[in-house]
Chains A and B, each alone.
Chain A
Amino acid sequence: MWTAFAGVLLLTIVITTAERFQLLSGLRLSINDALSPGRFVVAAISGKSESVNVPVGTDSALAPQLQDMEQQRRALIIENTQLHNRLQRLSASKGHSLQRVPLVGFDVVSAQIISHYGMPSCLRQAMIDAGRVHGLRRSELVLDATGTVLDSGIRNGVTDGRPVLAGSIVVGRIAQAGRWVSQLVPVTDESYSARIQLIRHSAGGTQPGAEGMLEGTGDSCRISGIADVASVAIGDEVFSADISGLSGPCLYYGTVVTADFKSAAGWSVFVKPAITLSEVDDVAVVVPRLNADRISGGDQPTTVRRIQ
């Protein structure tokens, strides 16, 4: 009997050590992958019985509406800033507009977080129920899909058949994609980094601010690489500058909570993420897709249009 206990104790020590050196991610993904066929069967049998009916008129019922309005507000900020930039470019180019169909578009794959690993230090990852069979790959961005704006975009294909992504909150990134499940790291993880752009509200409207690199610190995020001559203020909002190096819709990260400038070290900027992993259940993974129009119709030369 005691030999069995000693064996379990030894195995526990071995796996704890392996976890410390991050050696168990592959095995974790394999075990969760092995559970997936059974989950599909349960999901198929139970259908939509999991959905929760929220009573109308309560705070819980208003929360999704509030989230939708908040996303619309962020989308409007982005649109406003983009229009401002376009106006400046048009003024500079004396009325010539450059219009081209982007080579790459973005689709989203909806998924649910099936397990939160919310305990301290190294264990801050989560597993989602979508994997390589759904077209996911490593390092793709994961958005919060709690509200209905993104969801309705996915279902109805708002604006030229593409989902509405602008202003959606970035939750993290796919760290490892299994067959049916994937592991995601949150934006606060030390391994997370992304190019961002600050947007500032002023009396003259929203203005694009400095660009930099957002990096996870464990509990929050910091921005590095901001030019010394740029200006940063508390309350500036942080949006993505690109999606995995491709130009695309601006996604939201959070708000600047600390901005100190030291002459020797430059800017020290910390960001409070808009959402934490523990608050999210439904997510959407952004998957880049080649634009069919550009492929089927051939790569048309850039059209130059004179603005009347």
Chain B
Amino acid sequence: MKGFLVIGILAWGAMILEQSRPAVLPAGAVLLPLVMISMLWNRTAGGIFAGGVVLILDWIARPQGIPLLPVVLTFAATVLLVRTASDPWTGTEIRQPQFPEWIQPTILVVIAILVSTGPTIVTQRSSLADALHLIRSYAMVSIPLTVLMTGVMKLAAEFGLRRVS
């Protein structure tokens, strides 16, 4: 419950920042890294669900096309976190290839940026330069923030503030 409350408060702050400074912080530039880290913090189903709910609430507040982000990102996070898959026929467990933990948030944020900007680029038929500019405006904020928060997440694990399974 405390975790949900913390995610809620942080998401509220991120949305306020984005609404207050739209020229510098495009919608989602701060929120997406925050949600990705919250999904991967405890690596539990609860974290993924909370992140998905925050993305849904963000879409309700600022709808952009259809709500692809919650579905795509919770799916991607689940795929990254599920370490093993069971063969339904033989019952044997198959170990899936895993990305290192430190790069997982960045992968999710890159997916999030592409899903956020993709529909706009396609519907507005933007030129390559415009599309790159749009992607860059997100990446310039989101990726450094994600790297920073990944560092915080690793530090929290080192100091015993985060449960690592």
Contacts and interface: CB of A to CB of B under 8 A. Distances in A.
Interface in B7-59: 12-13, 15-17, 19-23, 27, 45-46, 48-49, 52-53, 55-57, 59
A12 B52 CA distance: 9
Given A3-B45, A43-B20, A11 B27 contact: no
A5 B78 contact: yes
Contact of B20 (A3, A11, A16, A39): A39
A1 B61 contact: no
Nearest to B39: A4
Contact of A117 (B16, B63, B71, B82): B63
A115 B75 CA distance: 28
Contact of A19 (B22, B23, B63, B75): B63
Interface stretch (A29-37, A90-98, A151-159, A254-262): A29-37
A9 interface: yes
Interface residues of B, number: 38
A5 B75 contact: yes
Contacts of A12: 52, 56, 67, 70-71
Contacts of B106: none
A115 B49 contact: no
Contacts of B46: 4
From B46, B53, B63, B78, residue with most partner A Cβ within 10 Å = B63
Contact of A35 (B22, B61, B119, B123): B61
A102 B81 CA distance: 69
Given A16-B67, A32-B61, A42 B17 contact: yes
A32 to B, nearest CB: 6
Contacts of A21: none
Contacts of A119: 63-65, 119, 123
A69 interface: no
A115 B57 CA distance: 15
Contact of B49 (A7, A31, A34, A42): A7
B67 A120 contact: no
Given A2-B82, A119-B65, A35 B19 contact: yes
B60 interface: yes
B60 A16 contact: no
Interface in B64-87: 64-67, 70-71, 74-75, 78, 81-82
A230 B11 CA distance: 57
B123 A4 contact: no
B16 A35 contact: yes
B56 A117 contact: no
A42 B20 contact: yes
A86 interface: no
Interface in A107-136: 114-115, 117, 119-120, 123
Contacts of B23: 50, 52
B136 interface: no
A4 B123 CA distance: 31
Contact of B48 (A1, A31, A117, A123): A1
B25 to A, nearest CB: 11
Given A5-B75, A7-B52, A39 B65 contact: no
24 contacts: A4-B48, A4-B49, A4-B52, A4-B78, A8-B48, A8-B70, A8-B74, A11-B52, A11-B53, A12-B56, A12-B67, A15-B60, A15-B67, A16-B67, A28-B61, A35-B12, A39-B19, A42-B17, A42-B20, A43-B20, A46-B20, A50-B20, A50-B23, A115-B62
Interface of A: 1-5, 7-9, 11-12, 15-16, 19, 24, 27-28, 31-32, 34-35, 38-39, 41-43, 46, 50, 52, 114-115, 117, 119-120, 123
Given A24-B60, A35-B19, A43-B20, 13 more contacts: A4-B45, A4-B78, A5-B52, A8-B49, A12-B52, A27-B60, A28-B63, A31-B60, A34-B12, A38-B16, A39-B20, A42-B21, A123-B65
